[in-house]
Every structure is written in C-alpha cells, then in structure tokens.
Amino acid sequence: MHFFEYPDAEVFAWPEGERFGFVPGALQHVAFALPDEGAALSLRHRLSEFGVEATPTNNLGRISNILFRDNNGLLLEATWANE
C-alpha cells in the first residue's frame, strides 16, 4: 500500500514516551479487519516476537481493537467484531 511520497517531506519523530498520540492534519491510521479475537491474539504474539509494541485490547462496544506502529511510524489498527 502506498499513499503518496514527497522527496523533501518533513519527517515527524514521536517524542519519547508518546507512541500513540494524535497529530492534527496527518494520516491518523490505517485499520485492518480481523476475523475474530483469536486472530488478534495471534497477531499480538507475532508482533511481540518482533519487538513491536501494541496497545492493550480496547473494547469499543460492538468491536475491539489493538493499535501498533509500523517500521515507518504509521499507526495501524487491527479490529474485530465482539461476539
């Protein structure tokens, strides 16, 4: 997936300790649907094996999610329906 690229774009660096903040005017995140909580737990395990930090599971009513950052700092969301 490639959105756009500017060769002279300013790169944003997250301040220490602020991994999941909000940046006005920026692409906030990309979300992916998972089939169920089991798939989410499997993803969390794989992320952890590669040293990728993820948020605790967020229960948002009819859905749940976890958030994590890719190797370029883009916030990714894995979401699934609650039973």
Does 14 map to a domain?
no
Q: How many CB atoms lie within 10 A of CB 52?
A: 15
The predicted structure's pLDDT at residue 42? 97
Does 5 map to a domain?
no
Q: Are strands 75-81 and 63-69 parallel, antiparallel or unpaired?
A: antiparallel
DSSP 28: -
The larger pLDDT score, comparing residue 69 to residue 22, is at: 69
Average pLDDT over residues 44-51: 96
Q: How many domains, the chain?
A: 1
Does 64 map to a domain?
yes
Does 17 map to a domain?
no
Does 25 map to a domain?
no
Residue 39 has pLDDT above 90, yes or no: yes
Residue pair 77/30 in contact (Cβ under 8 Å)? The answer is: yes
Does 61 map to a domain?
yes
54's CB contacts (< 8 A; 6+ apart) are 44, 47, 48, 66, 67, 68
pTM of model > 0.75: no
Lowest mean pLDDT among 10-14, 40-44, 61-65, 72-76: 10-14
Range of the domain at 52: 30-81
Residue 25 has pLDDT above 80, yes or no: no
CATH number at residue 56: 3.10.180.10
Does 8 map to a domain?
no
Helix (H) or strand (E) holding 47: helix 37-49
